[in-house]
Amino acid sequence: MPDNAPAPDFAVRTLLDTASVTVRDVCCAGHCRHQSAEECASATELVFPYRGVFARHVGRDQTVAEANQVLFFNATEGYRVSHPVVGGDASLSLNIREPLLRELAPKALIHDGARLAFRRQRLRIDPRSQALVALRMSGQMAASDPAYQRGIGFLLRTQLSDGSWLVRTRAFPFQPYKESGYPHGKDQWISAAGSSWAAMALSLSSQTSGQEVSGF
């Protein structure tokens, strides 16, 4: 690339690619301050922002994506992106194959139909698990660091016998929750997202050490 050529808007790095899931690290320079041209994902993806801020516009619905939530990008659903602040953003993107995602996703989160699609744009997540993933992905802390290992120890101590983690909802109960089959009653939606982050933090730790994490 010539020295005077503009930096690319996106940098995508594949971290894991298996028959079940593809995990990518996606960094965006954030040059577009206004709404971008409409685009769509070719497959349904779960996107976990860990640095910066961007806004996602689906029709008249707008979501500000920042590091305390997971975003659902439905396959073929049109959306636009804008960046309200400078600095760009970075996210982890999970493409879980549809049969497995349909099995794992709480039923209350997805539409009934031949093709899987999420009802909501986003869910809030557990901040402690995300902090571990962000520190590891940014390169600011190795998985072998004592502080990271204390976080891993916390996750293993608080993991329940069914493999999940309980995250208490902070949402105002303005409507009854829908039972999905995931544990934890009224806390099941946020617990599902928090458990996903906890699993990623444990996975990053085990990949670095080359050993399986007990209880995972």
- Per-residue burial over 195-209, b = 16 or more CB atoms within 10 Å of its CB, e = otherwise: bbbbbbbbbbbbeee
Nearest to 167, CA basis, from 216, 119, 130: 130
β-pairing verdict for 45-52 and 21-28: unpaired
CA separation for the pair 69, 50 (Å, rounded): 9
Same-domain check for residues 100 and 203:
no
Listed residues 123, 147, 171: the one ending a domain: 123
Name the pTM for this structure. Answer: 0.56
**Distance (Å, whole) CA 32 – CA 92:** 20
For residue range 21-44, what is the model confidence (pLDDT) as tens digits? 899 999 988 777 777 778 888 889
How far from 156 is each of 68, 137, 166, 176, CA to CA, in Å?
A: 21, 20, 12, 31
Q: Is 124 within 8 Å of 130 (Cβ atoms)? A: no
Residues 131, 180: one domain?
A: yes
Summarised one tens digit per residue, pLDDT across range 91-144 is 889 999 988 888 888 888 888 777 888 988 888 766 666 677 767 766 777 778
What is the per-residue pLDDT for 180?
Answer: 72
Mark which of 57, 91, 123 sits at the end of a domain.
Answer: 123
Cα separation, 75 vs 183, whole angstroms: 27
47 shares its domain with 13: yes
Tally of domains within the chain: 2
d(CA 37, CA 35): 7
Residue that terminates a domain, selected from 73, 96, 123: 123
Domain co-membership, 137 together with 204: yes
Segments forming the whole domain that contains residue 20: 1-123
Residue 95, beta-bridge partner list: 22
Same domain, 36 and 130: no
Residues 111 and 215 in one domain: no
Asked whether 132 and 152 are in contact (CB, 8 A), the reply is: yes
CATH code of the domain covering residue 71: 2.60.120.10
pLDDT in tens, 42-91: 889 999 888 888 888 888 888 888 777 888 999 888 888 888 878 888 88
Edge to edge, the sheet with strand 61-65 lists 61-65, 54-58, 80-82
Same-domain pairing of 113 and 139:
no
132 and 114 within one domain: no
DSSP class of residue 4? T
How much of the chain, in percent, has pLDDT values that exceed 90?
A: 6
Same domain, 140 and 87: no
